[in-house]
């Protein structure tokens, strides 16, 4: 074995540790941050406390699976996206542990970012996309981003923002409507289960898209109005996924018109929805690629894989 890279990611939703080596994912451990019933998220201070408590057992479990002697680098998400001004306190927890581990193991510390990790995790099984520029849609609780992506060097993604939501993100919309309907947080799985029970499927929530910018706050209000009018919960739930599919299709249509057609990779927690994938395939007439569902939600696999690409796999 060439060696492995330990990855750490401490997002707003999940504490995660992974090891990536040859032939791939060697360890993948995650603990979701607990949210009280009816809650719609956590304060950053609560997230930091929970990561501090949940991270050590995951590191211990990783070293029970992969020998510390095989670790060639420690990679960690230091921020939400790859920008100097990108910052969120929860990522400090992971970086502190990663820095200590790298120093103890006498290996390089690789500060990366959460979004790059999501994209790289979605490229597992879709490695052919690394050969040329592609579009990436990162849709989660904290992002609804349309990106131009290319590999500029092993383990280094060049990410150019093209479009985004100007208010709510896709995951926030799913969670807010889901929690309103009695789903737990995060609400994606339960809301999709509810949406699968829809019969008429005629709730059409208006999509608000201007070129490469979308707005989803109006969609939340429209969904709640439909419920007030007596529409069935499952019909409104289906309408949310239909709205997201139409919104993303319009953004991709604009990008293709401006920059040309490219393959599209969808990543992030919302992209794990099988219903959303089905609706996008119906509405979006272009090559669509999805990461494995298990690697779509928040995880450390992507940052570990990027670190392996850079330090070991060349």
Is residue 134 included in any domain, yes or no?
Answer: no
What pLDDT does 84 receive?
A: 85
Q: Is residue 286 part of a domain?
A: yes
Together in a domain, 111 and 186:
no
In angstroms, the CA 250 to CA 214 distance is: 9
Task: Give the domain range for residue 259.
Answer: 163-290
Query: Same domain, yes or no, for 95 and 199?
Result: no
* Residue 105 domain flag: yes
Contact predicate 33/14, CB 8 Å: yes
Cα three-residue angle 266-172-28, rounded to 5 degrees:
55
User: How high is the pLDDT of residue 37?
Assistant: 82
Question: Which tens digit of pLDDT belongs to each residue from 21-45?
Answer: 989 999 999 999 999 888 878 999 9
Shared domain for 176 and 61, answered yes or no, is no
Q: Are residues 236 and 121 in the same domain?
A: no
Please indicate, yes or no, whether residues 277 and 303 belong to a single structural domain of this protein. Answer: no
- On whether both 116 and 194 belong to a single domain, the answer is no
114 and 212 share one domain: no
Instruction: List the chain residues with pLDDT less than 50.
Output: none
Residues 169 and 284 both lie in one domain: yes
pLDDT digits (tens, 9 = 90+) for 71-116: 999 999 999 998 888 999 999 999 999 999 999 999 999 999 999 9
Q: How far apart are CA 157 and CA 119, in angstroms?
A: 9
What is the total count of domains within the chain? 2
CATH number of the domain residue 257 falls in: 3.30.420.40
Q: Are residues 300 and 259 in the same domain?
A: no
In degrees rounded to 5, what are phi and psi of residue 69? -65, -20
Same domain, 116 and 28: yes
* Residue 281 structure tokens: 């395939």
Give yes or no: residues 301 and 275 share one domain.
no
Q: Give which of 302, 313, 291 is closest to 139, Cα–Cα.
A: 291
**Shared domain check, 121 and 22:** yes
pLDDT of residue 314: 60
Residue 155 lies in a domain: no
Residue 136 lies in a domain: no
């Amino acid at each position: 074995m060439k060696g492995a890279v330990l990855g750490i990611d401490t997002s707003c939703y999940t504490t995660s540790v992974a090891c990536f080596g040859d032939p791939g994912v060697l360890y993948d451990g995650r603990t979701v941050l607990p949210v009280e019933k009816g809650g719609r998220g956590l304060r950053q201070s609560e997230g930091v406390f929970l990561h501090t408590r949940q991270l050590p057992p995951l590191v211990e479990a990783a070293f029970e699976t992969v020998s510390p002697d095989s670790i060639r680098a420690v990679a960690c998400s230091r921020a939400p996206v790859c920008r100097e001004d990108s910052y969120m306190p929860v990522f400090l927890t992971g970086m502190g542990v990663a820095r200590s581990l790298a120093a103890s193991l006498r290996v390089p510390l690789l500060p990366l970012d959460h979004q790059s990790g999501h994209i790289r995790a979605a490229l597992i099984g879709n490695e052919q996309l690394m050969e040329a520029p592609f579009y990436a849609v990162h849709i989660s609780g904290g992002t609804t981003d349309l990106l131009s992506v290319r590999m500029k060097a092993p383990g280094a993604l060049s990410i150019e923002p093209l479009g985004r939501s100007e208010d709510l993100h896709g995951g926030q919309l799913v969670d807010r409507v889901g929690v309103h309907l009695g789903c737990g947080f995060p609400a994606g799985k339960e809301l999709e289960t509810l949406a699968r029970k829809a019969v008429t499927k005629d709730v059409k929530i208006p999509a608000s898209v201007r070129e490469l910018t979308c707005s989803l706050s109006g969609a939340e209000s429209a969904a709640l109005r439909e419920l007030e009018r007596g529409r069935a919960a499952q019909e409104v739930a289906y309408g949310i996924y239909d709205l997201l599919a139409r919104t993303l299709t319009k953004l991709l249509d604009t990008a293709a018109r401006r920059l040309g057609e490219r393959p599209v990779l969808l990543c992030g927690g919302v992209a794990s929805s099988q219903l959303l994938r089905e609706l996008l395939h119906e509405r979006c007439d272009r090559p669509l690629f999805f990461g494995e569902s298990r690697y779509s939600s928040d995880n450390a696999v992507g940052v570990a894989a990027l670190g392996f690409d850079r330090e070991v796999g060349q």
